[in-house]
Amino acid sequence: MDLNLKGKVAIVTGAGGGGIGTSVSYELAREGAHVVANDIDRSWADRVAKQVNSQGSKAIATYADVTSLKECAAMVDKAVADFGRVDILVTIPAYMGAGSFAHSSLDDLHRVVDVTFWGTLNAIKAALKPMLAQRSGSIVCMGSDSARMAPPGESMYAASKSAIMTFTTCLAKELGSSSVRINVVNAALVSTPGSAGLAGGYSHNYPLGRFPDSDEVAEAIAFLASDRAAMITGQSLSVNSGRL
């Protein structure tokens, strides 16, 4: 399916790391979008931007820490300065923390919320400035099936992702009259080199027999970001091989 993304300008936060954010950047580029590859890891942001440019689309790297609204605003200003507009925002960054709530440090709990929840909201807050001015835009937030499955040891992470889902539903109603859409894509375990050893122990929870890979999640994100999904807003879509 042609997603009609040629010439669209997309910001991807958390574009590095070789996971979903990297796959999203490459998928949007394959569909013809120009990409602002943002990552706090400068080497990764540069690498993704270089790869996108090699695919024939235009890309720049930015290095905003998404826990800072000021840095997110600078990221968006750079996108507008270089490309003239912002059509798509995809928010990826998250921090899971470690261990149970009772035994986690307060600093670690705050870090989960700062990166996962506020990192999403800061990027959205900044991107809305040009989107509302041009009266168009599509935002896709990376959620998690942890928000509904509530696994032990992920209380703050699951709560942050749940908050993103509720925030998205509310914000979609606020933004509809400005033709700005916002949706969430959820995933559970995603097939990466790091998850390869888990397949045997968890595959029985996945009716389709395997974890989705990051490219498959990226394809769903690209669809929701595109005008092909023009009548979809305020929704949460799980790409999880049918895991219930």
Which of the following is catalytic: 63, 157, 202, 206? 157
CB 148 within 8 A of CB 187: no
Q: Are the CB atoms for 176 and 136 separated by under 8 Å? A: no
Largest separation between any pair of C-alpha atoms in the chain = 50
Whether residue 218 contacts residue 27, with contact meaning beta carbons closer than 8 Å, is answered with yes
Q: What is the chain's length?
A: 244
Does the active-site annotation cover 95? no
Say if CB 218 and CB 20 are below 8 A apart.
yes
Can you give 97-115 as a three-state secondary structure string? CCCCCCCCCHHHHHHHHHH
177 burial level (CB within 10 Å; 0-12, 13-18, 19+):
exposed
Report, as residue numbers or ranges, the catalytic residues: 157
